Chain A
Amino acid sequence: MTSESGVKDREKVLILDGVRTPLCKAGTDLAGWNAVELGRMAFRAVLDRTGLDPGVFDEVIVGCVGQPSEAQNVARAVALAAGVPRSVPAVTVHRNCASGFEAITTAAERIRLGRGQIYLVGGTESMSNYPLLYSKSFTDWFASFAKAKSPAEKLAALVRFRPGMLKPRIGVVEGLTDYSCGIIMGKTAENLAVEFSISRREQDEFALMSHQRAIAARERLAEEISPVPSADFSKWIDQDNGPRENQSMEALGKLRPYFDRTAGTVTVGNACPITDGAAAMIVLSESRCRSLGLQAKGRLLDWKYAGLDPHRMGLGPVFATARLLEATNLRLSDFDLVELNEAFAAQVIACERAFASKEFAERELGRSLPLGTLDRERLNVNGGAIALGHPVGMTGTRLVLTLLEELRRREKTLGLATLCIGGGQGGAVAVERI
């Protein structure tokens, strides 16, 4: 296959294996663990599953969006906690919702550049532990109070205090709000619902399907999960807690629009929940894989990122996939399975329509033909983030992991993982099962 951007003698990049923690909605079973500890459990699990000596790695690369303030460069903290020797360096990468992709593709790029041979990568996110922040006015006041020396100065500072200063800034809300356009992610989904005329019913139906598929996939998903204890050791967590067995159109229909309360269609039921979780993966060169005598699960064919208008960031997968197809000379129909992250049902449906639209292709992608149809038999066959959840920094790694596992089970070959990225980007990764 002439798939690697035209250059054939480049080192092939393989994925040895991966594993993840269960995904739990923020504030529930995993809430007691911070991002370091979640990462530790996933990274230790992949080491234990593969039996690899943690000293073999050239570097540890971890994606994380909300870095814990107590563990800057969370990758280093995760690596040391997981038992990786001190001599192995570690770097945290951040491409917002694609940080878990970024960890994989950064490793792949280093391998292709000959900078290293084997990388321990993944993503970790504890959205439960996103902080409440003090406002700028309070921070300034606090600094002036701390600087005041004499009792008189202190008193003067005290007088300047206003209770309103204590109103917190909510980390998770700020994190999900785009800086350049100033709107929250849910609003970008509303934009797409309007642009592509996507009804509330269509969105809810998609959400229901996500839950039903995830419930049906319990046993399959268990294969990629390493069970973990809750932080107070009261509970053994061996499955994702997002999927609802009794999810129904009726229940979904009762929810009020969350982001646009007057005329919106996006609800918490047809959007992904904020979630905790971590995933780990081993990315290595074909030659290193051979010299270690290991059997890899898949090959990373190519990957692309693309930028677009932040107001409609949900279309990121279309733009990124277009570039990826171009680079690999593949067609959308060549892929046996597709994992397209379900940030919002409206956003996934918008992507489906854009993929199939000749007009969209001509206007936005500079192509005469549409990219092709994303039929739902191949799309997110084990459910997606609407049911499972979306720990932003780890999802990219999970998509690739889930995709490879399902290719293995179905004995299929080609897979596409793609996601939209807050801030107006898309990422797409093509893998091949070995």
Chain B
Amino acid sequence: MSAWQPRIEEEIALLGLDVPDKKQNVLTEAIMKELDAILTDFEQTAAKDVKGIVIYSAKPGSFIAGADVREIDGITSSEEGRIKAALGQKILNRISLLPVPSVAAIGGYCLGGGLEMALACTYRVAALDEKIRIGLPETKLGILPGFGGTQRLPLLVGMREALGMILAGKTVDVRKALRIGLLDSAVAPGLLVEEAIRFLRERPRPHRFIPRGFSGLLERAPLRDWILFPKALEQAEKKARGHYPAIPAVVKLMKETAALRPPEDVTGKGLIVAPEGLAREAKAFGKLVVTDVSRNLRHLFFLTEARKKYAPYESEPGVVTYAGVLGAGTMGGGIAWALANAGWDVRLKDIRSEPLLGALKTAEEIGRTSMKRRRMTEAEFRRAMGRIAVGLDYFGFRRAELVVEAVVERMEVKQAVLSEVERRVRADAVIATNTSGLSIDEMASVLVHPGRFAGLHFFNPVHRMPLVEIIRGEKTDDRTLATLFSVARRLGKTPILVENRPGFLVNRILIPYILEAIRLFTEGADVRAIDRVAERFGMPMGPLRLADEVGLDVGFHVAEHLERCFGERMALPEAMRKVFEAGLLGRKGGEGFYRYDRAGKPVGVNPRLSALVPRAGKAIPETLMEDRLFLVMLVEAVRALEERVVGTPEDVDIGMIYGTGFPPFRGGLIRWGVSLGGAAVLRRLAPLSELGERFRPPEILKDILG
């Protein structure tokens, strides 16, 4: 069955794309070749009889969501990558070289190869639909746009805007696209094709970016080369920190090709660019597509895609319109805001009014920041804030279909609160606890209906951390799981299913890493050196900075709990106890391993530490530090898999990336282990095993890491 459905109506060639068996159109080599054949046919027969061609999606409300990532994943050599890109470029180039004008009618997602096809056309029109996103997100997969995107986009929106879009992989909505010149027009969805045809009949002068005014100077040589490119690189590297080769590759390519001019003797109607620029782009694409970073990012992409359909339960979710939240601490407040922002009415209860006021203040700050970043309008902000009602009583809980408990982490308090709240809610209300590690079953034991109960573990700060651990107790029923999965997804979070074991998944793996960092510190390593090793590995912040961020009191309690549960393997280093007992709280208290200024910015290592903690003066090589920090996590992760805390290695990878910021370019913790290989890991563990049980490889390590 063919994907393209060409037809000619009233001197207009309409090229509708409908990739069979797919919800969204994606470009494959076969589909590109089919287009190639259609263009050949068109040039030979129909070209002189038509006024122009419209490229659109025959699926309603869509366009082209990009190239097929599976196919990209099949590329085995950089030369193969180059050839594939060049082939795509050649076919899209034919559109721009057509003797008649062409227009892309964009009715839905227009990403990657989809946008590159639209860029090759003379005009671009889109439907007024807030869901539509337009952009070149290739760098998020560790590659760069290989079908001419890097060459054509700057001609429409300018180099500064194009660099920004490509480097960040950021997509824009229809209105923004219109404003920056990426689109020529936007109309109601029902008028889209009509509007496209109007452009072909009226043939207005095609849009080109023209640098103007003071900022226009930056768009031209030499300021472009002196300021624009270095600045863009610097800014992008602030986030990428040298771990993402696509970033410098994009800047280098666009800089080197910026001055190229298209050949002058071509009379095409589309957006024509210099062949040399395309050739360089294809080559750069080929180089990037075979890097480990790109492979790992693709791995993560597939995992994330698969997660959207992941449903480890057999039940429909309960409908949630109203949620009760118990406990207005940092987590309770964050959860209340997240729920309200997703459109639910929330009742937040505490036993004192001060935390309620604090939670509202926190919510307001988060909302105002979103507003400043234009992620929400003032009216939306007001509406979300207004959905949070607060009180010292249980009023409103009778309306709730979901209750999230986030009171202090003490079993007897949680049990008392849970058994109380169960009497206040409807029979079908789901009750969840946001405990970071206490036993779900022990809590469930006080409930009359434990089937409605499970863990719903958010990470701090709730509005930013994308992972939610959903913890199944012994008695948790499927409807409860289904409801919590659907809630987590509506909050825009990625849920993973975790069994009720101490520390669940993420804390159980993360705590040994922080403890190991503290041990390294005690042995003599410098605070900053330890964190630098982890950052160089790709962690968003080092373990000691992370401990400060989480709160040393919170970390201490979780670690103490894990020590009780797991014994020697998670033994608390003496230094941790000393630091906690000295009352250092981390960032929130102004000092921890680092000192912080009033705005909460770290201003250097805490000088009080050396007096508090006696340290040996050992010099520890950085490679050894890296091994100890990350292998201790890997071993614990394998052990968690051995105990079936989660179902698959992919759960660990998702959990660590979305829950701790484990570097995405490594594809996840287990994936990192696999890339090292089981034998290599065992070899590196061997000298460490004398340090304790925590480095002793579990039986199944080789099975999992291969």
Query: B residues 371-426 with Cβ under 8 Å of A?
Result: 382-383, 386-387, 389-392, 395-396, 398-399
Question: Is B582 located at the chain interface by the 8 A CB criterion?
Answer: no
Query: A residues 46-90 with Cβ under 8 Å of B?
Result: 47-49, 51, 53, 81-83
Q: CB distance A40 to B356 under 8 Å?
A: no
Interfacial chain B residues near A37, Cβ < 8 Å: 386
Size of A's binding interface in residues, CB under 8 A: 21
Our pick among B347, B358, B361, B392 for the contact of A48 (Cβ within 8 Å) is B347
Our pick among B358, B364, B383, B389 for the contact of A45 (Cβ within 8 Å) is B389
Interfacial chain A residues near B357, Cβ < 8 Å: 229, 233-236
Our pick among B364, B391, B392 for the contact of A233 (Cβ within 8 Å) is B364
By beta carbon, the residue of chain A nearest B363 is A233
Measured CB to CB, the closest approach of chain A to B385, in angstroms, equals: 9
Question: Is B165 located at the chain interface by the 8 A CB criterion?
Answer: no
Contact with B along A30-47 (1 / 0, CB 8 A): 000000010011001101
Interfacial chain A residues near B345, Cβ < 8 Å: 44, 83
Query: A residues 222-246 with Cβ under 8 Å of B?
Result: 226-227, 229, 233-236, 238
| Complex: A381 Cα to B602 Cα, angstroms | 60
Measured CB to CB, the closest approach of chain A to B501, in angstroms, equals: 37
| Complex: A41 Cα to B399 Cα, angstroms | 16
| Complex: A51 Cα to B390 Cα, angstroms | 15
By beta carbon, the residue of chain A nearest B361 is A233
| Complex: A220 Cα to B431 Cα, angstroms | 34
Q: CB distance B390 to A229 under 8 Å?
A: yes
Most buried by B among A41, A49, A83: A83
Most buried by A among B364, B382, B386, B398: B386
Q: CB distance B389 to A41 under 8 Å?
A: yes
Question: Is B235 located at the chain interface by the 8 A CB criterion?
Answer: no
Measured CB to CB, the closest approach of chain B to A75, in angstroms, equals: 15
Q: CB distance B391 to A229 under 8 Å?
A: no
Question: Given the interface contacts A40-B386, A48-B347, A233-B361, does A227 sit within 8 Å of B399 by beta carbon?
Answer: no
Measured CB to CB, the closest approach of chain B to A48, in angstroms, equals: 3
Question: Given the interface contacts A227-B392, A233-B357, A236-B356, does A51 sit within 8 Å of B399 by beta carbon?
Answer: yes
Q: CB distance B389 to A51 under 8 Å?
A: no
Measured CB to CB, the closest approach of chain A to B351, in angstroms, equals: 13
By beta carbon, the residue of chain B nearest A232 is B361
Q: CB distance B360 to A229 under 8 Å?
A: yes
Question: Is B689 located at the chain interface by the 8 A CB criterion?
Answer: no
Interfacial chain B residues near A44, Cβ < 8 Å: 345, 389
Interfacial chain A residues near B383, Cβ < 8 Å: 81
By beta carbon, the residue of chain A nearest B394 is A48
| Complex: A51 Cα to B322 Cα, angstroms | 11
Interfacial chain B residues near A226, Cβ < 8 Å: 391, 395
Q: CB distance A47 to B399 under 8 Å?
A: yes
| Complex: A265 Cα to B146 Cα, angstroms | 87
Interfacial chain B residues near A48, Cβ < 8 Å: 347, 389, 391, 395-396, 399
Query: B residues 138-157 with Cβ under 8 Å of A?
Result: none
Measured CB to CB, the closest approach of chain B to A357, in angstroms, equals: 47
Interfacial chain A residues near B77, Cβ < 8 Å: none
| Complex: A83 Cα to B339 Cα, angstroms | 14
- Known pairs A44-B345, A48-B399, A226-B395. 5 more at Cβ < 8 A? A48-B396, A229-B356, A229-B360, A236-B356, A238-B353
**What would 10 A/B residue contacts be, using CB atoms closer than 8 Å?**
A40-B386, A45-B389, A48-B389, A81-B383, A82-B386, A83-B345, A227-B353, A227-B392, A236-B353, A236-B356
Binding site for A on B (CB under 8 A): 345, 347, 353-354, 356-358, 360-361, 364, 382-383, 386-387, 389-392, 395-396, 398-399
